[in-house]
Structure 1
Amino acid sequence: MPPSSWPSSALPIAFAITCVISIYFSNPVHGLDAQTVIDSPLLTKKIGTNRTIKVDINGDGDFRSVQAAINSVPEGNAHWTIIHVRKGVYREKVHIPVNKPYIFLRGNGKGRTAIVWSESSSNNVESAVLRAEAPHFIAFGVSFKNDAPTGIASTSQNQSVAAFVGADQIAFYHCGFYSTHNTLFDYKGRHYYDNCYIQGSVDFIFGRGRSVFHSCEIFVIGDKRVKIRGSVTAQNRESENDYSGFVFVKGKVYGVGSVYLGRAKGPHSRVLFAKTYLSKTIAPQGWTNWSYDGSTENLFHAEYKCHGPGSESKERAAWSRELTEEEVAPFLSIDYIDGTHWLPVWL
């Protein structure tokens, strides 16, 4: 639906606290109050299933391999299935194929459950540790790490994707994404990232997804191989009829070195940082059209009430915007991704 028809209800803006308040809700999807933590029991309750497959690297489960557990889910799966991945480092690539929706990949926390592989490729999808190509996929408390060595700058061997998110209605809660170049390929569809950690150096959140990143921690690793600074985002919206865009609400961006908030990957590139802490790792210009030689007239690179030393706006790129409360309202609503229709919970 076009922006003019999006509701202007705002996302609740409270940060999660340490205690969990368990409240029964009668509806299938819910925005939660300021004192609620989205944790594994809450998500499990909301999706309403008792079908669980256990993965344990030490053999104390149904499978030792995450992919083996996924392979056991029948094609055309129409009911939520929990794949509980117990603590450990699982060295494998994981693929959620298009014909296996309704999988809930539940880890024991992003510091305890990790899926790790090492691969660089000229093909971003081929290098990905996680390939999520089925709709209705949820992950909680899992880290996805591509630990391939950083290659030679500006070559195909530089692309080492941690996760390829290539389907509609996908959500990640308390997950980690680790790589350097092209960490998170947010390819297409409506996505929600809540309290996730994303690390990288160059274009490390890229694609044309329509996605909300709520209270996410973004850590920058400066790329010292090239003079051109890296970018947190490289969003590839191609036309005014394309409703994709990356929206960052709250959270923080910090790290080592100097990067841009985003670079234009397409003529209508759309990225917004709202109420986000920006450290001095953000270059004063904020945004760049490096490698894009078209008009900047239709770029939507925007900020709203950000704070921290990197939020100073006097040297910002000429085409970037500081939005008004009225302008930002459609993007701060969970309806930007139609979340009330498919998300189990959100903050």
Structure 2
Amino acid sequence: MVSPTFIFYLTLTLFLFLNVSTSTKTILVDKSGKGQFTTVQKAIDSIPSNNKQWTIILLNAGFYKERVTILKDKQYIILKGESRLSTVIEWDDSGNSLESSTFKLYASNFMARNITFKNTYDLVLVNDVVKKITWAPAALLYADKASFYECGFVGIQDTLTDLVGRHFFDGCYVEGAIDFIWGYGQSLYQNSEIHVNGKSIGNWNAYITAQGRESDTQTNGFVFKYCKVTGTGTAYLGRAYRNHSAVVYFRSTFDNIIAPEGWDIWKQAGKEKYITYAEVECKGPGANMSKRVKWEKTLTAEQQKKFVDQKLFLNQDGWIEEQRLHL
């Protein structure tokens, strides 16, 4: 007997084949002038408003020192570099958790591969003095259906402003120290490295996440599946940005940098029963849960599935498979 799941994906594949053009347009960006454009932003600006065709913006290796914004009417864009180590979009700005971002995404239906987004503020010394630690995002995601493959996000505070929408990260690298994955996003981080740059903030504690779910009727949250947490210093897995904050680590590995308590209630004291923070089958020297906060949740099998099952949590309409046809 054919399973309902098989029928669903067969129907989806046929629908996509018949209704969505698999053809793509390619634009080449090269800093030295060997492409159609020398900057990423000019390539994006060349795409017509209300575009319906998947367009690959291919970046030759290089460090692109520019701020990049993709507005709401520029959908169906793929940014593709050579590798996250050799293809970098970077900028130096700070002071605002939204406006200071190096990369800003407002358009749905977006993909990126083999690129690092970096905010260089706080990452360098000026006259041998560390700059003041403040908001300095590398990327702002304010759009639905965005996926990232083998990408990097590097900063110190608010590195990845995972603000609104469904987002999928596979094989990525995220580096920071203070609330460096934060926002209201509904996001799955899979097979990725979360790197705590604790040495950049001295004796302060680091905080990996600051997730902002505000109601038990909302479905957003951050899920880390098969990830590894590495780095230096002492780090909390998350602190509660809003009173229904939700973060789950599933079968992930922790270096010996996790604070024994694991989690911080921050500004939500008294709201512990509403917060969903959980570790499921994690391992490594930082995964000892004997001294974790008492209000950390133990999820039932059904609750786990709602977070960990990609289709239930993130991919209800098959958008990830649809995007991969064009990658």
TM-score, L = length of structure 1: 0.83
Paired residue for 2:266, among 287, 290, 296? 290
Which residue number in structure 2 is paired with residue 33 of structure 1? none
How far does the alpha carbon of each residue in 1:291-312 deviate from its partner, in whole angstroms, 9 at most, with x for none?
3334211000011000001111
Kindly provide the amino acid, as one letter, of the partner of residue 276 in structure 1.
S
CA contact under 8 A between 1:55 and 1:86: conserved in structure 2?
yes
Query: In 2, distance between residues paired with 1:183 and 1:28?
Result: 39
Structure 1 position 112 matched with structure 2 position 86: yes
Which residue number in structure 2 is paired with residue 41 of structure 1? none
Kindly provide the amino acid, as one letter, of the partner of residue 301 in structure 2.
E
Query: In 1, distance between residues paired with 2:274 and 2:299?
Result: 15
Following TM superposition, by how much is the alpha carbon of 1:334 offset from its aligned partner in structure 2, in angstroms?
1.3
CA contact under 8 A between 1:249 and 1:274: conserved in structure 2?
yes
Structure 1 position 52 matched with structure 2 position 26: yes
Following TM superposition, by how much is the alpha carbon of 1:224 offset from its aligned partner in structure 2, in angstroms?
6.3
Change in CA separation of 1:342 and 1:28 when aligned onto 2, cut-off 3 Å: farther
Query: In 1, distance between residues paired with 2:111 and 2:305?
Result: 27
Query: In 1, distance between residues paired with 2:239 and 2:103?
Result: 25
Paired residue for 1:341, among 305, 318, 322? 318
Change in CA separation of 1:229 and 1:291 when aligned onto 2, cut-off 3 Å: farther
CA contact under 8 A between 1:53 and 1:84: conserved in structure 2?
yes
How far does the alpha carbon of each residue in 1:260-302 deviate from its partner, in whole angstroms, 9 at most, with x for none?
0000000000000000001111111110112333421100001
Show structure 1 runs of 5+ residues with no match.
1-8, 10-25, 31-45
CA contact under 8 A between 1:334 and 1:340: conserved in structure 2?
no
Structure 1 position 217 matched with structure 2 position 193: yes
Which residue number in structure 2 is paired with residue 162 of structure 1? 138
CA contact under 8 A between 2:21 and 2:53: conserved in structure 1?
no
CA contact under 8 A between 2:234 and 2:259: conserved in structure 1?
yes
* 3-state DSSP of counterpart to 1:322: coil
CA contact under 8 A between 1:267 and 1:294: conserved in structure 2?
no
Which residue number in structure 2 is paired with residue 133 of structure 1? 106
Which residue number in structure 1 is paired with residue 181 of structure 2? 205
Query: In 1, distance between residues paired with 2:14 and 2:116?
Result: 27
Following TM superposition, by how much is the alpha carbon of 1:228 offset from its aligned partner in structure 2, in angstroms?
4.8
Following TM superposition, by how much is the alpha carbon of 1:327 offset from its aligned partner in structure 2, in angstroms?
2.8
Which residue number in structure 2 is paired with residue 146 of structure 1? 119
Query: In 2, distance between residues paired with 1:345 and 1:332?
Result: 20
TM-score, L = length of structure 2: 0.88
How far does the alpha carbon of each residue in 1:159-183 deviate from its partner, in whole angstroms, 9 at most, with x for none?
1100001100100110000001110
* 3-state DSSP of counterpart to 1:111: coil
Following TM superposition, by how much is the alpha carbon of 1:338 offset from its aligned partner in structure 2, in angstroms?
2.2
* Greater Cα offset, 175-184 or 335-344: 335-344
Which residue number in structure 1 is paired with residue 223 of structure 2? 247
* 3-state DSSP of counterpart to 2:43: helix
Query: In 2, distance between residues paired with 1:283 and 1:47?
Result: 50
Paired residue for 1:84, among 48, 58, 71? 58
* 3-state DSSP of counterpart to 1:309: coil
* 3-state DSSP of counterpart to 2:231: strand
Query: In 2, distance between residues paired with 1:292 and 1:196?
Result: 30
Query: In 1, distance between residues paired with 2:146 and 2:61?
Result: 23
Kindly provide the amino acid, as one letter, of the partner of residue 52 in structure 1.
T
Change in CA separation of 1:303 and 1:85 when aligned onto 2, cut-off 3 Å: same
Report which structure shows greater RCO (CA 8 Å, sep ≥6).
1
Following TM superposition, by how much is the alpha carbon of 1:321 offset from its aligned partner in structure 2, in angstroms?
2.1
Query: In 2, distance between residues paired with 1:133 and 1:53?
Result: 20
Change in CA separation of 1:47 and 1:105 when aligned onto 2, cut-off 3 Å: farther
CA contact under 8 A between 1:115 and 1:144: conserved in structure 2?
yes
Structure 1 position 64 matched with structure 2 position 32: no
Matches for 1:259-298 after TM superposition, within 5 Å = 259-298=235-274
* Greater Cα offset, 219-228 or 175-184: 219-228
Q: How many residues align?
A: 303
Following TM superposition, by how much is the alpha carbon of 1:125 offset from its aligned partner in structure 2, in angstroms?
1.7
Kindly provide the amino acid, as one letter, of the partner of residue 314 in structure 2.
I
Following TM superposition, by how much is the alpha carbon of 1:50 offset from its aligned partner in structure 2, in angstroms?
3.2
Query: In 2, distance between residues paired with 1:110 and 1:176?
Result: 6
Which residue number in structure 2 is paired with residue 235 of structure 1? 211
Paired residue for 2:13, among 13, 23, 27? 27
CA contact under 8 A between 1:29 and 1:341: conserved in structure 2?
no
Show structure 2 runs of 5+ residues with no match.
6-11, 123-129
* 3-state DSSP of counterpart to 2:305: helix
Kindly provide the amino acid, as one letter, of the partner of residue 272 in structure 2.
T
CA contact under 8 A between 1:223 and 1:229: conserved in structure 2?
no
